[in-house]
A = this chain, B = another copy of it.
Amino acid sequence: MERLQLRKMLEAFYLEDIGSGDCTSEVIFDGQHGRAVIHSKSNGIFAGGQIIKEGFRLLNPDIQVHLRKQDGETVSQGDYIASMEGPVAALLTGERVVLNLIQRMSGIATMTARAVECLNDPHIRICDTRKTTPGIRMLEKYAVRTGGGFNHRQGLYDGIMIKDNHIAACGSITKAVERARSAAGHMMNIEVEIETEEQLHEAIAASPDIIMFDNCSPDTVRRFAALTPKHIVTEASGGITMNTLPAYQGTGVHYISLGFLTHSVQSLDISMDITDSEEE
């Protein structure tokens, strides 16, 4: 993740939460230093070490952060993730923004890892979608990678994706792919979304870089994947849940994209405590 971009985001998030000032800390404390630990209250995959480091340092450069867990590591209930030392007021002021982010990111990483495990097929990659929370896509896509998933395109600007609505409005898959091919440079891939075998054949003839099988059953995905020439990458998407995922094992598709990884996140429970003890 880009540090400049991350700091810009953190700054905006702090301003949202702190506004003109943390009136509690300002009133209660008078500069005393202290120590705090961040620890997990459940099991999962941790993501967000950079958030903790940059987050507290941005708020107050005097805060020292020591990470105990790296991104992608498993955490169990009670595990220490990080410890920080510095002005107590600043530690408490920063707590909520940092936790909100790493809880969400770790939740995504955990879910992604679970999906990979659930599918249990080394030849199929789990990937994300554009169904991310507006404003923090960079963080959410990073968390997907941390959990062992892959990223689909970043946004509308870095990949051509011809969906049912585009095809309907344009007239045909053939015409849409042709227009795309005549405009796209060599770093830009073209993906076509199909639902029926007829569409699949039309798509194959048009020769995009990727064909996506939308809302298809595992059997259909297996059949469509077999019909598709080797040089075209295949993707299954739409309506696939953690429950139906195992059935896609061995279908031969290259990618399965899952919207729920980012649009319906279960935060990982992580909390922060001010602590005196040296032992932990």
Contact = CB atoms under 8 A, between A and B. Distances in A.
A102 to B, nearest CB: 11
Contact of A169 (B88, B176, B210): B88
A261 to B, nearest CB: 12
A127 B186 CA distance: 9
A140 B105 CA distance: 18
A176 B25 CA distance: 10
A20 B157 contact: yes
Given A4-B15, A19-B155, A24-B156, A186 B189 contact: yes
B158 A187 contact: yes
A255 to B, nearest CB: 6
A28 interface: yes
Given A5-B19, A17-B137, A159-B187, 11 more contacts: A4-B18, A17-B130, A17-B156, A18-B157, A20-B138, A20-B157, A23-B160, A28-B176, A153-B187, A165-B273, A185-B255
A235 interface: yes
Contacts of A13: 134-135
Interface residues of A, number: 98
A158 B157 contact: yes
A115 interface: no
Contacts of A246: none
Given A11-B4, A263-B100, A135 B274 contact: no
A32 B100 contact: no
B28 A170 contact: yes
A61 to B, nearest CB: 10
